[in-house]
A and B are shown apart, each in its own frame.
Chain A
């Protein structure tokens, strides 16, 4: 396998080959600009570029930006430079590389999300999946729903506009009151010395007026996890439009769907066109309306995405009825794990709105001790009514 690729005779030289390699990396989703190309070439001048081993180490340091990139780099490098001695027809791939819309997708760790980010924006075209999935698998309540629902049928643009307003209000209500970086203010708890010195110059070193600084409130990041299993289908319209509105009103917000598995939908929902965003989400939400594995999904979340996106300034909003096919302990553990990241956890349960509701679903009971707030919500108005509670959080 360590046979160096033979390049075509008409190939113009090393610089063009590097350009070809850059194009190869870009088409495989690495985010590289002209600056990196320059740095890469420069790096090669500091090493023995003809030695594949050295070139590999050097280019990896320059071209990878995170652990996943670094891991994939070996394969990409092999594919281009060590192509088993086969002749590479063209150094420069002729196809123009993918659209710019992927420039946020690098954050999307994990297979589903990554494939979703590169997926086309049309929701359909996966009919054959039903056949491939139906090959005698054991099915219980954890069955994945095979019928794809187009979320565009569920959510109306008016809903999104309304939800956007509510989401904006809620976002404003959630402020972090523990910020440590102080700012100048009329009333504050500390003296602003820098300003004080300046001012006291005019009064011969007599600090007549004491400028102050205080801790300003900072916005919290909202991460929404929405259950779209079968039991939640009736509420999906409200919650999905809420999430869509939230993503459009708040740059920092993040969102996931889960049923039997977890899918990151933040990038898809950031699409400028609200309906196309829903289309992209439908592709990702394959399995919509199926069984629910809340515990496993939340555990997966806390072990992967949460490590990167959840911190002390985050509020995790879970929208679910708590009917789980996993063991309740798993849900409890997952939430405990999540809580360790310092975030606040809010659970909005549509069933709680019912008269005489008790959190008897065993999963819900296991979750309760870890929640900062547990409230009913099955209409947009309910979500809006949360505002005063969030202010107090």
Chain B
């Protein structure tokens, strides 16, 4: 599949990717390298992985990072309860230590976590490592080993090599600066807020029930809202919620009913300060301009 075909395939699943992004995804698959996506919250970083797994007709394995994430939650862990029971049972049957040891440190007692799971699939899955910047540096270093070697070493079992190379997508939004080493191993794409045409295409792909006039109003409104001084700018997900809310409320024109518009801003503005800053007058002015 070349990158244009990929772009079309993504679009068919409702994900409008610009040329840059489509090319980056294409190369990530062609070169077998991880792809690092950066961008503000709500521009569709995570969604890309989901849609890509649909396009490739493969499994999506997701690892959500957080501070303090460790190997036991990311790679594998032994099933301790079963191991303990098994040792006790073996003792009652009079089995020797060696045999028991072999048994309890076998695959049967291994709990796969996302990273190990991802490299042991028959068909290459999409591995989404979400918000890698939330995890700490130690984990980043650990991850690097897996992403370059595609193998995991378990002391009791030996080295497990990948049966298939997953398509790895990492996302970050600047909670912490990532190490250069990790950046170097990845292809990079920065996703910014889409321009008017792209966002309109996204809206029509995702919510075909919105009529053209309202759709253009919604996009105009959201785009100008992003230019305001907000703590948290509305992303694409918020824009889609907003559109869905307006359709649900049966509104055909943003300027018609200031009260309803103000109420439906709940889908776009997620902090108290932002709600206070965008008063009815400002919302009306923006809606008026968008119309």
A46-73 CB mask vs B (1 if < 8 Å, else 0) is 1100000110011011101111011100
Residues 149-205 (chain A) with a chain B CB within 8 angstroms: 179-182, 193-194, 196-197, 200-202, 204-205
**A46 vs B32: C-alpha distance in the bound complex, in angstroms?**
12
A356 within 8 A of B: no
Contact yes or no, A43 B27, CB < 8 A: yes
Q: Contacts A47-B3, A65-B188, A201-B87 hold; do A181 and B174 have CB atoms under 8 A apart? A: no
Contact yes or no, A312 B67, CB < 8 A: yes
A379 within 8 A of B: no
B138 within 8 A of A: yes
A101 within 8 A of B: no
Interface size on A, residues (CB 8 A): 44
B176 within 8 A of A: yes
Question: Which residues of A lie under 8 Å from residue B86 when comparing CB positions?
Answer: 205
Question: Which residues of A lie under 8 Å from residue B180 when comparing CB positions?
Answer: 31, 65, 106
**A12 vs B83: C-alpha distance in the bound complex, in angstroms?**
65
Residues 183-223 (chain B) with a chain A CB within 8 angstroms: 183-184, 187-190
Residue of B nearest to A308 (CB): B177
Q: Contacts A67-B38, A200-B87, A204-B87 hold; do A46 and B68 have CB atoms under 8 A apart? A: no
**A108 vs B27: C-alpha distance in the bound complex, in angstroms?**
29
Residue of B nearest to A307 (CB): B174
Q: Pick the interface stretch among B18-26, B123-131, B159-167, B239-247.
A: B18-26
**A58 vs B3: C-alpha distance in the bound complex, in angstroms?**
10
Contact yes or no, B27 A200, CB < 8 A: no
Contact yes or no, A39 B31, CB < 8 A: yes
A36 within 8 A of B: yes
Residue of A nearest to B84 (CB): A205
Interface footprint category on B: 35 or more
Residue of A nearest to B134 (CB): A311
A107 within 8 A of B: yes
B70 CB, min distance to chain A CBs, angstroms:
5
Contact yes or no, A57 B100, CB < 8 A: no
Contact yes or no, B188 A107, CB < 8 A: no
Question: Which residues of A lie under 8 Å from residue B26 when comparing CB positions?
Answer: 46-47
Contact yes or no, B27 A62, CB < 8 A: yes
B182 CB, min distance to chain A CBs, angstroms:
9
Question: Which residues of B lie under 8 Å from residue A53 when comparing CB positions?
Answer: 19
Question: Which residues of A lie under 8 Å from residue B101 when comparing CB positions?
Answer: 201
Residues 17-63 (chain B) with a chain A CB within 8 angstroms: 19-20, 22-24, 26-28, 30-31, 33, 35, 38
Q: Contacts A54-B23, A180-B67 hold; do A201 and B31 have CB atoms under 8 A apart? A: no
Question: Which residues of A lie under 8 Å from residue B104 when comparing CB positions?
Answer: 197, 201
Residues 28-42 (chain A) with a chain B CB within 8 angstroms: 31, 33, 35-36, 39, 42
**A57 vs B83: C-alpha distance in the bound complex, in angstroms?**
52
Residues 78-103 (chain B) with a chain A CB within 8 angstroms: 78, 80, 83-84, 86-88, 90-91, 97, 100-101
A77 within 8 A of B: no
A237-250 CB mask vs B (1 if < 8 Å, else 0) is 00000000000000
Residue of B nearest to A196 (CB): B80
A85-123 CB mask vs B (1 if < 8 Å, else 0) is 000000000000000000000110000000000000000
**A39 vs B187: C-alpha distance in the bound complex, in angstroms?**
9
Contact yes or no, A43 B31, CB < 8 A: yes
Question: Which residues of B lie under 8 Å from residue A58 when comparing CB positions?
Answer: 23, 27
Q: Contacts A31-B180, A179-B68, A194-B78 hold; do A67 and B97 have CB atoms under 8 A apart? A: no
B175 within 8 A of A: yes
A207 within 8 A of B: yes
Residue of B nearest to A55 (CB): B23
B133 CB, min distance to chain A CBs, angstroms:
9
**A36 vs B104: C-alpha distance in the bound complex, in angstroms?**
44
Contact yes or no, B24 A200, CB < 8 A: no
Q: Contacts A106-B180, A312-B67 hold; do A67 and B20 have CB atoms under 8 A apart? A: no
Contact yes or no, B67 A61, CB < 8 A: no
Contact yes or no, B27 A61, CB < 8 A: yes
Residue of A nearest to B70 (CB): A181
Contact yes or no, A61 B189, CB < 8 A: yes
A374 within 8 A of B: no
- Other 18 A-B pairs with CB < 8 A, given A180-B68, A197-B83, A311-B175: A43-B31, A46-B26, A47-B2, A47-B3, A61-B28, A61-B35, A62-B27, A65-B183, A65-B184, A66-B38, A67-B190, A69-B188, A70-B188, A193-B78, A200-B84, A204-B88, A205-B90, A308-B176
Listed by A's residue number, 18 A-B pairs whose Cβ atoms lie within 8 Å are A36-B184, A46-B31, A58-B23, A58-B27, A61-B24, A61-B187, A65-B180, A65-B188, A107-B177, A181-B70, A193-B80, A197-B104, A201-B87, A201-B97, A201-B101, A308-B176, A308-B177, A309-B177
**B contact residues vs A (CB 8 Å cutoff):** 2-3, 19-20, 22-24, 26-28, 30-31, 33, 35, 38, 67-68, 70, 78, 80, 83-84, 86-88, 90-91, 97, 100-101, 104, 136, 138, 174-177, 180, 183-184, 187-190
Shortest 8 CB-CB contacts between residues of A and residues of B: A180-B68, A205-B87, A57-B23, A204-B91, A61-B24, A205-B88, A65-B183, A46-B30
**A contact residues vs B (CB 8 Å cutoff):** 31, 33, 35-36, 39, 42-43, 46-47, 53-54, 57-58, 60-62, 64-67, 69-71, 106-107, 179-182, 193-194, 196-197, 200-202, 204-205, 207, 307-309, 311-312
